[in-house]
Amino acid sequence: MLLLALLHIFFVSFTDKPLAEQPALSPRAIEQRAKWKIDTDHLDYPVYAPYLDSLRHAGVEICHTSRWMNGATCRMSTDQAAQVEQWSFIASVEQTREDDVRSTMYNVRRTMYDVPSTIYHLRCTMDDGARTDEQLDLLNLTALHQAGFEGQGILMAICDGGFTNANTLPCFRQELELGHFDFTDDADPFYGAEGTHGLACLSTISALTDSYHGAATRAQYYLMRSEEMHSESPKEMDNLIAALEKADSLGVNIFSVSLGYFYFDNPDWNLSHDMLDGSTTRLSIATTIAARKGMLVCVAAGNEAQSDWHKICVPADADSILSIGAVTATGEMSTFSSYGPSADGRVKPEVCAQGVQTALIAHDGTVFQSNGTSFAAPTIAGLAASLWSALPNENAMQIRQRIIDSSDRALTPDYQQFGYGIPDAWKAYTLYAEQTPSIELNEIKARKIVRNGQILILQGEQLFTPTGQRVQ
């Protein structure tokens, strides 16, 4: 009788990384790095190819690699893993998914506790007149749109568990989607029936109809799938790292993800609150790296306020990103938005947007409402894209800081749920104009005007930029 070895998923870490001839960056990514004066370093080079060849020659299947973590996600037996761990260039071998326990335990836990890593949300009944106006107006984003800034020139990535019908629904202009990438081994098609959550997140950014207006309807984007629907394991965190690295290699400006992790099918892998410091889990470390490579990463804080976890989820604990909580249309805190701060005392979440009865697009193109920080996060990502299109010479950290400084609790942040509060998109755009001494010349009263979609300061008959430079 033939006995087949059971294959599991492992993350294999290498001891070193001899550098290849070229970094794993597209021409756009290289151009972006030059623009923002971000140096290329060892993290930009791919994993050493001969190490990967050795794994393949040993019969190991490589799912994907990580140049930032210097390792590879692999499928192999426990006997193979024990053998590989003895090799001289292997630092560690860590199991990240058990492929023999995908059903019973997982399904029971998910049903009982409602803690899938796709941030849990509730479907609500939608009034006929309800549209996107209130969620945009809460952020004063309509004013920025009316000035002509809706994400043009900005490249985004939206990462989730699939995107049902996003390639066919007319509310998504297909010329804006530049491609899609799947980092899972799910059998369900990328645009198949299990991707309704990702579709809803995408709609808050890009959907456009006579009665629905996303937050950045002129931004181009890639779609990425990292969430696996039939298991909950650390492998999904490594999938998300692969998505972040791919986005970086493509020169993506803004990465939006409404996924969060803390409990897994195997409780031995569960995270703890002291790990929420941005520097413990691979995923949070990678998310911080993405920010320092020039991306603005927007992450849903989580919906665990009333669960035993209570806190933000990974990777919302990462540094230099925007983690986003959920409020109502009138700015009141939701009952479910996860609590901060991070384990090392940083303000979390950073900002909030509407995540209660958020208007969304369903798989059939109709508008409905649902709840979750899942929908607050891409709304802020869309705000960031529209703001960045208005200020194309600023970098990701400057855009992030404008969003924080424009928020209604910027001076007195709440370390529990609100963070710095609710951003004001127009204020973020015009924020530093009042601080410019040069516009007070000759004691002539100055005022703001918009010309060709650009904020200018008119003082007498002379025009200045918001930073005080004279316009010829």
pLDDT, tens digit, 9 for 90 and up, residues 120-165: 445 444 554 447 899 999 999 999 999 999 999 999 999 999 999 9
The answer to whether residue 98 scores a pLDDT higher than 70 is yes
Confidence of residue 440 (pLDDT cuts 50, 70, 90): very low
For the ranges 114-118, 232-236, 318-322, the lowest mean pLDDT is seen at 114-118
Tell me the average pLDDT across 389-404.
97
307/435: higher pLDDT: 307
Residue with tokens 């053998």: 83
Tokens linked to 93? 């071998």
Q: Rounded distance, CA 47 to CA 38, Å?
A: 21
Which H or E run contains 376?
Answer: helix 373-390
Strand partners, 160: 225
Please give the pLDDT value at position 470: 65
Mean pLDDT across 6-10: 93
Name the range with the highest mean pLDDT among 3-7, 193-197, 447-451. 193-197
User: In the sheet that 358-361 helps form, which strands lie side by side, from edge to edge?
Assistant: 123-124, 367-370, 358-361
Distance of CA 361 to the CA centre of its chain: 19
CB contact at 8 A, 71 and 63: no
For residue 380, what is the DSSP state? H
Convert 395-415 to b/e letters by CB count within 10 Å (16 or more is b): bbeebbebbbbbbbbbeebbe
For the chain, what is the total number of helices (H) and then of strands (E)? 12, 17
Higher pLDDT, 257 or 448: 257
The percent of residues above 70 in pLDDT, for the chain, comes to 84
The neighbour count for residue 65, using CB atoms within 10 Å, is 25
pLDDT confidence of residue 408: 96
Q: Evaluate whether 300 touches 329 at the Cβ level (below 8 Å).
A: no
Task: Indicate the pLDDT class of residue 26, thresholds 50, 70 and 90.
Answer: very high
Q: How confident is the model at residue 292 (pLDDT cuts 50, 70, 90)?
A: very high
Q: pLDDT band at 21, cuts 50/70/90? A: confident
Residue 453 — very low, low, confident or very high, per pLDDT cuts 50/70/90?
low
Whether residue 321 has pLDDT greater than 80:
yes
Answer yes or no: are the C-beta atoms of 352 and 325 closer than 8 Å.
yes
Positive or negative: CA dihedral 77, 314, 177, 72 = negative
User: pTM here?
Assistant: 0.88
**Average pLDDT over the chain, rounded to an integer:** 89
The sheet with strand 8-14 has its strands ordered as 61-66, 71-76, 8-14, 90-97
- Is 14's pLDDT higher than 70? yes
Strand pairing class (296-300; 322-327): parallel
pLDDT band for position 460 (cuts 50, 70, 90): low
Residue 469 pLDDT level (bands cut at 50, 70, 90) = low
Structure tokens at 210: 């006579």
User: pLDDT tens, 54-92?
Assistant: 999 999 999 999 999 999 999 999 999 999 999 999 999
